[in-house]
Amino acid sequence: MAALLVAGLLSACSTVSAPPRVAQAPQPVPAPVAPLPDAQSPIKVAVLVPLSGQSAAIGQAMLDAAQMALFDMAGDQLQLLPRDTKGTPSGAADAARQALAEGARLIIGPLFAADVAAVRPIAQNAGVDVLAFTNDATQAGNGTYVLGFVPADQVGRVAGYARSRGVTRFTVLAPRSPYGDAVVNALQAIGPRLGTMTTQVERYDPAVTDLSVPAKQVAQVTPQPQAVMLAEGGQRAQGIAQALAANGVQPQQVKLLGTGLWDDSSQGALGQEPALVGAWYAAPAPQTRARFESQFEQVYGRKPPRIATLAYDATSIAAVLTRSGGPVPFDRMAMTNPNGFEGLDGLFRLRADGMVERGLAVMEITPTGSRVVDPAPPSFEFLGQ
């Protein structure tokens, strides 16, 4: 397996000084022709993140995580080219052109779907692949890999676990939004393989504040579903669970299920809502990420956003392939190794269609946090793939 050796690198990180922090991306003078790489020179990889504008704090954290991975794993073989996307498609396009003019052979980022859409054709024309942080599956393909946490794997994993516990009838509650569409489509698509049915789909305006209306629609159905999938996180998930319980959908009889939106401690403790205690969701196993988050806070003096692990893992892929890939380190056969990689977010692999498959654990909400009830698979062989 082309493993990222996360355990070793994190233990090493705890014994060394912090990597240099880039407070602001340099502004290079664009060259008309990208320089040819020298055999002795490091491989250049662009990191496109917003370092100015409304999302600058997230962008800086992503860059900091990338530099931790560079410091832990790459040595002198890899050089990062941080470039500010300004959080806009035009800024992302300019940043990509600058980095490619300087000889970048892989692009890590950008963060937002619209920015990825602006970068994709530029990267394709240059023959350079993109490891994007977006979770918009429509951006995948033709050398662009969507590293963000898309709902399909999460929905399939938790629905499969529920099926193993006897659940065959599902209801889904989802806002009328692209994310809600993705959750509904994923649950319906996996039904034939699992031998399950989605017997009810309730959609609602994502801006609605009174969540009792969709909850009542679920409660009035006879017979009640065995499980309800909620396409919400944080306080919205708590509110819907409370409304369901108030209308007679009791968690003792109807299992509540969630998505990766629940896998974010910054949204508050979901277990503070009694109706969510015992609910299940699928997410990367938390142990390795917890060590990274602790180390990040020790190095930079603040907690990282949840998606900072994507920047670390993407940079680690670049480092691993640089060490082992020879003159063409980012060959697509190497990028899409079917055995995958082991990163901060667990087992994952890049597919030829640009999507990312993840080996996820099933988590259960408790009053004091979440616990693993079904561990993540140790390899893709355990998934029968």
Let me know whether 354 and 366 are in one domain: no
pLDDT digits (tens, 9 = 90+) for 140-177: 999 999 999 989 999 999 999 999 999 999 999 999 99
Residue 250 belongs to some domain of the structure: yes
Torsion over CA: 365, 369, 375, 377 (sign): positive
Non-local (6+) Cβ contacts of 254 within 8 A are 224, 225, 226, 227, 228, 244
Give the residue, 211 or 175, on which the prediction is more confident.
175
Residue 37 belongs to some domain of the structure: no
Q: Which two tokens stand for residue 384?
A: 């029968």
Is a pLDDT exceeding 50 seen at residue 32?
Answer: no
CA angle 313, 317, 322 (to 5 degrees): 145
Give the model's confidence band at 72: pLDDT under 50 very low, under 70 low, under 90 confident, else very high.
confident
Provide mean pLDDT across the span 237-254: 92
pLDDT digits (tens, 9 = 90+) for 4-20: 444 333 433 332 223 33
Residue 77 belongs to some domain of the structure: yes
Question: For residues 172 and 231, is the Cβ–Cβ distance under 8 A?
Answer: yes
Give the model's confidence band at 265: pLDDT under 50 very low, under 70 low, under 90 confident, else very high.
low
Residue 1 belongs to some domain of the structure: no
- The CATH number of residue 140's host domain is 3.40.50.2300
Residues of the domain holding 347: 43-148+287-358
Look over the chain and give the mean of its residue pLDDT values, rounded to a whole number. 86
Q: According to the model, what pLDDT value does residue 289 have?
A: 87
Report, in angstroms and rounded to the nearest whole number, the Rg of the chain calculated over CA atoms: 22
Q: Which two tokens stand for residue 130?
A: 């993109």
pLDDT digits (tens, 9 = 90+) for 37-61: 555 688 999 999 999 999 999 999 9
Q: According to the model, what pLDDT value does residue 74 have?
A: 67
Is a pLDDT exceeding 50 seen at residue 23?
Answer: no
Let me know whether 310 and 206 are in one domain: no
Q: Which two tokens stand for residue 325?
A: 């890939």
Residue 370 belongs to some domain of the structure: yes
Q: According to the model, what pLDDT value does residue 380 have?
A: 80
Let me know whether 215 and 327 are in one domain: no
Is a pLDDT exceeding 90 seen at residue 184?
Answer: yes
Residue 8 belongs to some domain of the structure: no
Q: According to the model, what pLDDT value does residue 275 have?
A: 93
Question: For residues 4 and 292, is the Cβ–Cβ distance under 8 A?
Answer: no
Residue 26 belongs to some domain of the structure: no
Let me know whether 121 and 259 are in one domain: no
Number of domains in the chain: 2
Is a pLDDT exceeding 70 seen at residue 268?
Answer: no
Residue 18 belongs to some domain of the structure: no
